[in-house]
Amino acid sequence: MTEEIIIAGFGGQGVLSMGKILAYSGIMQDQEVSWMPSYGPEMRGGTANVTVILSDDRVSSPVLQSYDTGILLNQQSVDKFEDTVKSGGILLYDPNGITRHPVRNDIRIFQVDATEESVRMKLPITFNMVVLGAYIKINPVVDFDNVIKGLRKSLPERHHHLIPVNEKAIHRGMDIVREAKLSTSG
């Protein structure tokens, strides 16, 4: 098993953290992993993306041109990475701020209203955990228990008191993700 993932959005959405938690989750279940971040110099508000590879075999290179999964969290990311998802792959996105929804019919497209849900929970900072929950629901490449272990490993100890709210957000993402209905009318 090898899963090649691109997670992309604005800086401040927790894109890199989500990738790090996925990578740690893979380590917790004895997978080979690669975590390669990329972000603009402006950080918050600028673009950020991370490539994560989870594999049962050694990872030969972290540099990819196409992905099994695209987790795309803003319009710029949809525009840039939609076409890089391999045929038969998965695209997961949050529709907040999206003006041109993904339309490919050779991949599975899922939508998670993570912005809306994290605000409804009064915990906007858990946005990325809602997205992560949606992803592991539709593509369980890592076990839930290992995600929590990965979260514990990636959060500084002074923030471990936030693990229960993050766990709740992951569960909410699992509950609210849905397959997107494709529209040919654009």
17-57 pLDDT, tens digit each: 999 999 999 999 999 999 999 876 655 567 799 999 999 99
CA-to-CA distance for 153 and 147, rounded, in angstroms? 10
Sole residue written with tokens 């500084």? 156
User: Do 86 and 137 touch, CB atoms closer than 8 A?
Assistant: no
55 within some domain: yes
pTM here is: 0.92
186 within some domain: no
184 within some domain: no
91 within some domain: yes
Predicted confidence band of residue 159 (pLDDT cuts 50, 70, 90): very high
185 within some domain: no
Check pLDDT > 90 for residue 166.
yes
What is the rounded end-to-end Cα distance, in angstroms, of the chain? 35
Residue range(s) defining the domain that contains residue 150: 2-179
CA dist 138 to 69, 108, 175, Å?
Answer: 11, 10, 11
99 within some domain: yes
Mean pLDDT for 160-171 is 96
The backbone torsions φ and ψ at residue 152, rounded to the nearest 5 degrees and listed phi first, read: -60, -40
Mean pLDDT for 3-10 is 96
What pLDDT was estimated at residue 185? 45
What pLDDT was estimated at residue 126? 95
Condensed to tens digits (0 to 9), the pLDDT of residues 78-112 reads 999 999 999 999 999 999 989 999 989 999 999 99
| Count of the separate structural domains present in the chain | 1
65 within some domain: yes
58 within some domain: yes
User: Do 176 and 129 touch, CB atoms closer than 8 A?
Assistant: no
CATH number of the domain enclosing 10: 3.40.920.10
User: Do 96 and 75 touch, CB atoms closer than 8 A?
Assistant: no
